[in-house]
């Protein structure tokens, strides 16, 4: 958070981990013939991450912060229209995309009739652009500005969701996932920068906590909605649904002055 110039690089290392774990998962499922093999692998890696986290250096915090959300602070944030717009964009972009990833496996394996190895390949198509774009985010943001970054991301989401909704084969479908890097770049590095710009420092931690809470609620609602669409209308309906939602959001970003 303090070294924001390095944030994109640090976030990119997470993408590398996702890539390696995705490939490893696909190989294990392919050779074992059982999806249950994922769980002991996931537990092992989680334990490794836990013990690694225990070695992190401790830093004394000289600024006293509340251990709970202040109602007064929340009210101040809810009056900040720029902050509310960011929450809307985050839910529509990152939360929607993250929730869709839960159904992409079924879409590839069942609807498009591909093997387990296609899941690993799809992960590669998502992660490689992230590794390229995330380190560049801190350098491109001062040149483009926040609004242009958000607008580019929204346009990429429209293209991506349309490819998902119309793709008759796994190859074309995965081509849309190449745009994952642009979206993630915008709604991690750019989001953090915009929050620091529009929210006063004393409310920053509350703003981040509140945005995480809104994202969790949005993820739960979208997961339920997507589940109903998948059950009654098929997996393609999920992509058409998010595509229709993304169009008015993109128009809002284009017309608003709150991001200037």
Residue 198, pLDDT score: 87
Tell me the CA end-to-end span of the chain in Å, nearest whole number. Answer: 23
What are the distances in angstroms from CA 253 to CA 23, 96, 243, 248, 259? 36, 17, 15, 9, 8
User: pTM value?
Assistant: 0.76
| pLDDT on residue 238 | 94
| 122 Cα distance to chain centroid | 16
Buried b (16+ CB within 10 A) or exposed e, 172-209: ebbebbbbbbbbbbbbbbbbbbbbeebbeeebebbbee
Residue-range domain boundaries for the chain: 70-114+136-255
70-114+136-255, CATH topology level: Growth Hormone; Chain: A; (1.20.1250)
Supply the pLDDT for residue 192: 81
Distances (CA, A) of 258 to 94, 163, 198, 207: 20, 30, 10, 17
The pLDDT score that the predictor gives to residue 235 is 92
Residue 230: per-residue pLDDT: 92
Please list, in sequence order, all residues whose beta carbon lies within 8 angstroms of the beta carbon of residue 164, skipping any fewer than 6 positions away. 100, 173, 176, 239, 243
Specify the residue for token string 């580019």: 152
Q: What is the pLDDT along the chain (260 residues), one digit of tens a residue?
A: 444 455 555 655 666 666 677 667 767 766 776 667 777 777 887 888 788 778 877 665 544 444 456 788 888 888 899 888 888 888 877 788 878 888 888 898 888 888 766 777 887 888 888 778 877 777 788 888 888 988 998 999 999 999 999 999 988 999 998 888 888 777 777 888 888 888 888 888 888 888 888 888 888 888 899 999 999 999 999 999 999 999 999 999 999 988 87
Q: Provide the pLDDT for residue 67.
A: 47
Q: pLDDT value at position 12? A: 57
| pLDDT for residue 133 | 80
According to the model, what pLDDT value does residue 233 have? 94
Beta strands in 52-192 (DSSP E): none
């Amino acid at each position: 958070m303090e070294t924001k110039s390095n944030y994109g690089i640090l976030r990119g290392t997470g993408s590398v981990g996702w890539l390696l774990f995705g490939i490893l998962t696909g190989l294990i499922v392919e050779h074992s013939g059982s999806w249950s093999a994922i769980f002991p692998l996931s537990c092992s890696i989680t334990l490794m991450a836990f013990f690694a986290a225990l070695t992190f250096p401790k830093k004394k915090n000289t600024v006293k912060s509340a251990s709970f959300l202040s109602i007064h602070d929340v009210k101040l944030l809810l009056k900040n229209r720029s902050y509310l717009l960011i929450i809307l964009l985050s839910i529509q972009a990152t939360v929607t995309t993250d929730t869709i990833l839960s159904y992409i496996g079924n879409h590839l394996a069942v609807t498009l009739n591909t093997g387990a190895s296609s899941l690993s390949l799809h992960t590669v198509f998502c992660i490689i652009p992230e590794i390229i774009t995330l380190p560049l985010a801190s350098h491109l943001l001062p040149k483009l500005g926040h609004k242009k970054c958000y607008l580019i991301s929204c346009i990429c989401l429209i293209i991506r969701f349309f490819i998902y909704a119309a793709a008759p084969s796994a190859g074309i479908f995965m081509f849309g996932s190449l745009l994952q890097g642009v979206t993630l770049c915008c709604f991690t590095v750019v989001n953090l920068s915009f929050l620091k710009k529009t929210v006063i420092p004393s409310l920053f931690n509350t703003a981040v906590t509140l945005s995480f809470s809104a994202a969790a609620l949005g993820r739960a609602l979208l997961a339920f909605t997507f589940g109903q669409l998948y059950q009654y209308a098929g997996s393609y309906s999920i992509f058409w649904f998010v595509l229709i939602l993304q169009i008015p959001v993109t128009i809002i970003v284009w017309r608003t002055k709150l991001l200037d």
